Amino acid sequence: MSSSVEAITVLSSDGDEFKITVSAAKLSKPLNWMLEDVCFSDDCDEVPTIEVNSKTLVKVIEYCEKHAPRANSGASDSDAEELKKWDIEFMKMDVKDILFHILMAANYLHMEGLYDLACQTAADLMKGMTVSQIRKIFHIKNDFSSEEQEQLRRQHPGCSFD
Amino acid sequence: MSHYYFPQVILEEIFHRLPLKSLVNCICVCKSWKSLISDHSFICDHLNRTIQANLDNSSLFLFTSLKKRVQGFKYYECQDFYSLYSDNHQQSDDGDNSSVMKSSVIPLFTCEHKEMVGTCNGLVCLADYFVLDTSDLIIWNPCIQKYLVLPKPSVIFRLSDPDHRRNRVFFGFGFDSKAKDFKVVRLVSTINNKEETPQVEVFSLASCSWRNITGKAPPILLCMQVLWKHQMSINGVIYWVVSQRRNGRIHNFILTFDLVEEEFGELMLPEILRESPHQLSILVGEDSLAVVHTYCSEADEEYISIWVMKDLWSEVFHCDTRRYGGISSVLAIRNSGELVLRIYGGMIILLDPVNESVKDLGPRDFVHAFAGYHVESLFLINEQDGVLSY
């Protein structure tokens, strides 16, 4: 890889082009491997595709750019505190629309920090939910028969169904 | 409507971050979630993650029986309660910032003579010591309100046997980390002033049956002053204090039972306790083996001393029993050194011996009180082999 490269261009699954700085890209293992690969050398004009849609990729890149300075150099406690606050704001997003896509993307791109954050956000969201509310946000169909449903109610008296 | 397809690893990662109550809700969402969460390896992973997340914040499990006079009658009724104590105030679900959770009444036990054998990985083992020839046992998960009444063991005594009154039963309860299985060990011996090899049976929760392993235990003597029923399991080894006669003298030692190998062993007590004629027992410790010794000084004053085993035995607490309002018994010791004490007059306190601070742990006016350590777990969620909900 040429050292003169400071930002790379990637394509989303929708075919849109995105720029991401090298230091930010290093937060993802697969992107890091790509960096070491020939495709970012100066004499290569092939743009790699990331299997993440544009809307999600924007958020992922935003996260990477914010976290890159700390990940690359280490940070003071006050920075960590500020970053934590930023994460909370960053995660205030529509679940169905984007959070689940971020989860999948973070898993696919091996981004530990973002994956952790998204899993925790999803879990926090589910904490106060009833069974039917959980089904709704995950788009899950109830596949229990009415007899099985009755049995579940008997077996889990502490469970909140509706 | 599109269905989100999540790889199982992502779902598991989210599930591991949920409190137990939400996990139970998730079981009822759909069949695939139910089978994922009810899977034994998921339940074991969940336990390990919960233990890791609560390393510095173990919860105390307090079990108390209250006696209430039945109105208009001359007899008493027993009601059982349990409560959880944690230093982490946020643990309390109902939003009241108290560190002692509300006591919950347990509807499943009616007998009056029950005792807690011990707690392990979220399960509680209770025994009914009243009817000696049956000794009913219950394994119970208080967090998900499920319990199992164990099948009857095969070593039983007949009331027609003239010696049956001498029979004594005691138990051990712990987790075999290799087989990932809970086990109960039942020892039957007699009080008759001579050493004998106890009859031993092991119950495995996975197979829901007893196995007789008599012959593996060394001969033991059950002495009056040793509270041999008290047990503790740490990392898959169960500990009791028992005695033997050596060179014509009573010799107290710790009998161990390895739940993986199913082998008995012996551990030395601190020298000063080996021939003590005073009250001696295993103390419920968090991660370390501990014993409690209650003895009288020459001036006839009663003292309590507590010894903890870390590489070597060391005395960590020594106190006149008249202090702190009069110590009736020591129920548990935490890694921090704090002690759970039962005070005369009906009170359970948490004492920090270093700065002598005392916290009231709530329950009062009880007839029985036991303490153990608690962690939330999903064991028994599957309701196989006769597990019941209440």
| Distances B233 to B135, B280, B332 between C-alpha atoms, Å | 20, 17, 13
Taking the C-alpha atoms of residue B349 and residue B343, their distance in angstroms, rounded to an integer, is 7
What integer pLDDT is reported at residue B336 of this predicted model?
A: 92
Nearby residues of B343 by Cβ (< 8 Å), 6 or more positions away: B324, B325, B326, B327, B328, B349
Whether A162 is in a domain gets the answer: no
Q: Do A134 and B29 touch (CB under 8 A)?
A: yes
Kindly list the residues from chain A whose CB atom is less than 8 angstroms away from the CB atom of residue B18: 123, 126-127
What integer pLDDT is reported at residue B151 of this predicted model?
A: 92
- ipTM metric: 0.87
What integer pLDDT is reported at residue B204 of this predicted model?
A: 97
Closest by alpha carbon to B205, among B14, B3, B377?
Answer: B377
Taking the C-alpha atoms of residue B381 and residue B42, their distance in angstroms, rounded to an integer, is 12
pLDDT in tens, B221-239: 999 899 999 999 999 999 9
Taking the C-alpha atoms of residue B106 and residue B103, their distance in angstroms, rounded to an integer, is 9
A–B: how many Cβ contacts below 8 A?
84
pLDDT in tens, B300-353: 899 999 999 999 999 999 999 999 989 999 999 999 999 999 998 878 999 999
Question: What's the pLDDT band for B167 if we cut at 50, 70, 90?
Answer: confident
Whether A146 is in a domain gets the answer: yes
Residues B145-152, mean pLDDT to the nearest whole number: 91
pLDDT in tens, B289-305: 999 999 998 898 999 99
In chain B, what percentage of residues exceed pLDDT 70? Answer: 89
Is B96 a residue whose pLDDT tops 50? no
Whether B16 is in a domain gets the answer: yes
Q: Do B3 and A139 touch (CB under 8 A)?
A: yes
Whether B27 is in a domain gets the answer: yes
Taking the C-alpha atoms of residue B1 and residue B259, their distance in angstroms, rounded to an integer, is 51
**Which domain range does residue B17 map to?**
8-48
Residue B1 contacts A, CB cutoff 8 Å: yes
Residues B263-273, mean pLDDT to the nearest whole number: 96
Q: Do A159 and B13 touch (CB under 8 A)?
A: no
Start-end of H helices in chain B: 8-15, 20-27, 31-38, 40-53, 271-274
Taking the C-alpha atoms of residue B241 and residue B273, their distance in angstroms, rounded to an integer, is 11
Q: Which residue has the higher pLDDT, A94 or B216?
A: B216
Interface test with B, best of A97, A125, A126 (most B CBs within 10 A): A126
How would DSSP label each residue in B201-259? EEEETTTTEEEE-TTSSPPBB--TTB-TT--EEETTEEEEEEEEEETTEEEEEEEEEET
Whether B37 is in a domain gets the answer: yes
**Which domain range does residue A44 map to?**
7-155
How would DSSP label each residue in B177-196? TTTTEEEEEEEEEE-SSS-B
Whether B22 is in a domain gets the answer: yes
Q: What integer best gives the mean pLDDT of chain A? A: 85
Q: What share of chain A is helix, strand, coil (3-state, %, to 5)?
A: 60, 5, 35
Taking the C-alpha atoms of residue A5 and residue A16, their distance in angstroms, rounded to an integer, is 21
Is B68 a residue whose pLDDT tops 80? no
Q: Which amino acid is at B317?
A: F
Q: What integer best gives the mean pLDDT of chain B? A: 87
Kindly list the residues from chain B whose CB atom is less than 8 angstroms away from the CB atom of residue A107: 7, 9-10
What integer pLDDT is reported at residue A46 of this predicted model?
A: 67
Whether A36 is in a domain gets the answer: yes
Domain count, chain A: 1
Kindly list the residues from chain A whose CB atom is less than 8 angstroms away from the CB atom of residue B29: 131, 134-135, 138, 140, 142
Whether B267 is in a domain gets the answer: no
Cβ contact B339:B354 at 8 Å: no
pTM value is 0.88
Kindly list the residues from chain A whose CB atom is less than 8 angstroms away from the CB atom of residue B144: 156, 158
Give the number of C-alpha atoms closer than 13 A to the C-alpha of residue B166, restricted to the C-beta side.
14
Q: Do A159 and B2 touch (CB under 8 A)?
A: no
Strand order in the sheet with B167-176: B167-176, B181-190, B199-204, B209-212
Taking the C-alpha atoms of residue B238 and residue A6, their distance in angstroms, rounded to an integer, is 61
CATH number at residue A141: 3.30.710.10
Q: How many residues are given for chain A?
A: 162
What integer pLDDT is reported at residue B97 of this predicted model?
A: 38
Q: Which amino acid is at A125?
A: L
Kindly list the residues from chain A whose CB atom is less than 8 angstroms away from the CB atom of residue B2: 139
Taking the C-alpha atoms of residue B329 and residue B197, their distance in angstroms, rounded to an integer, is 30
Domain count, chain B: 1
pLDDT in tens, B354-389: 999 999 887 777 778 899 999 999 999 987 778 888
Q: Do A107 and B10 touch (CB under 8 A)?
A: yes
Q: Which residue has the higher pLDDT, B384 or B86?
A: B86
- Residue located via tokens 């092991």: B202
Kindly list the residues from chain B whose CB atom is less than 8 angstroms away from the CB atom of residue A126: 14, 18, 22, 26
Residue B365 contacts A, CB cutoff 8 Å: no
Residues B125-140, mean pLDDT to the nearest whole number: 76
Whether A89 is in a domain gets the answer: yes
Q: How many residues are given for chain B?
A: 390
Q: Do B145 and A157 touch (CB under 8 A)?
A: yes
What integer pLDDT is reported at residue B134 of this predicted model?
A: 57
Kindly list the residues from chain A whose CB atom is less than 8 angstroms away from the CB atom of residue B145: 157-158
pLDDT in tens, B239-250: 999 999 999 899
Residues of chain A with pLDDT under 50: 1-2
Interface test with A, best of B3, B15, B21, B29 (most A CBs within 10 A): B29
